[in-house]
Structure 1
């Protein structure tokens, strides 16, 4: 399949520091970038095809990303080491500080991905995986594969099937492929979806996400997500999220000298009274009383 990727791309304040290396393969395009971005640099990407981006250095402290808008307010989050962006999902990025980085871009034709995945996992599971965005920080195995692919892209030495097999391994290692086709039909979230939610919520300093953001994280509609989440955990998404925030409050109460008011502000509660009420509801006592008891032990 002769494949030419088509992506709308706008960048400002980002420049390459070495020649771009690329190689076209069967239904996919591999592109390696070595670049740097200034503080305040920004970019916008939208592709009709799925794509994978793998960074070879940690950029989470320097680059923020959002799929909702370019204002980088409520929906912003740190850029992770590897992301899978489904077809038609926009991505905005913003540099909070100057940073040099390198990354591998894989532009993938949907039919090529289906042809690769369907024989092993089935068409239904493959289509589900292609709709689910992925963002991970731990890329040990995927980074090794990506490094081998970059070397082959920069200096081709073997048949194209070798590079294509590396791409296939990256895809199968990164995409969130359902363990069983029937899990969603049975009204429960998969283990991978739960792990993704936990990672995303933990990445937020205040452990706050809207139900719509949580649903988008696992590739479900908001109404369907709320239903299967309750079936899986026994809690509504907001109850689960509140418990996570209270767990974080307990960590801060026992491991820091922050006042209850400071902790309330850090975790996004409207004031100390709001945190106290929520804390008492979950734990059974006020934050101040809970802290005093721990200090006496």
Structure 2
């Protein structure tokens, strides 16, 4: 981005001056072509009308957790109130903009393929001065909550998700380009879009997030001892069918949650929740080979809420459904 100015210098209107869609019938006027899936219908007033020409869109492809639009936009000015989805805007060429978000105003140029990330719960105001070709991606908040638990073992509100406006990140660029190319595929790509949404969120988490109470100091980069790791393993194996927090594991070996988290990831190269999922899947494989329990009972025995919950994680880790695994191992 270019120069950073005080918010006092901006002439952009406050986001409070723009009503939500359900409060403004004009925004939903039949004279405007709206390209939004149902989960965004009540959350963003972005209208793709005559000033924003649709090139391609995910509408009609059956995507349930992500929406994407490639559009060409005339010079414009708009204010978008907070939404619950993760929003990423990617200009396809260098553009001049004024952008207000997070209480700050940015004025200058965005490079082609740079990423403007808006975290859930945040709004923004933007003014574009040129014809803009841009790619927009929305990812449902449910995906963020799921990945926060799976990667960090945390609630989403325990993670500070940063919202950079910066030059392109190569890994994120690759994933967003894949998403853009999928807009040209026929309907029925919902499963692929779900996995791609997860990959995009995982990339954003890894590069643009911070656990609120996890330090990054060198003191916490010490691995757990063999005895400490054994106690943690014993505790996990004895409680695979229950639920517990990182603090519970830390208490087993007498460490604070923050220090335990860092030392555990140094030792295992995985978060506690990722490690737990491996143990649960291994237990499920053992019970499936044994053949005595139903899939529902195996799910409960391994700490999953129901059979479908087990199936989702089992297929992710093993590559086949639990029922197929049972047949193949007998």
TM-score by length of 1: 0.49
Larger radius of gyration: 2
TM-score by length of 2: 0.44
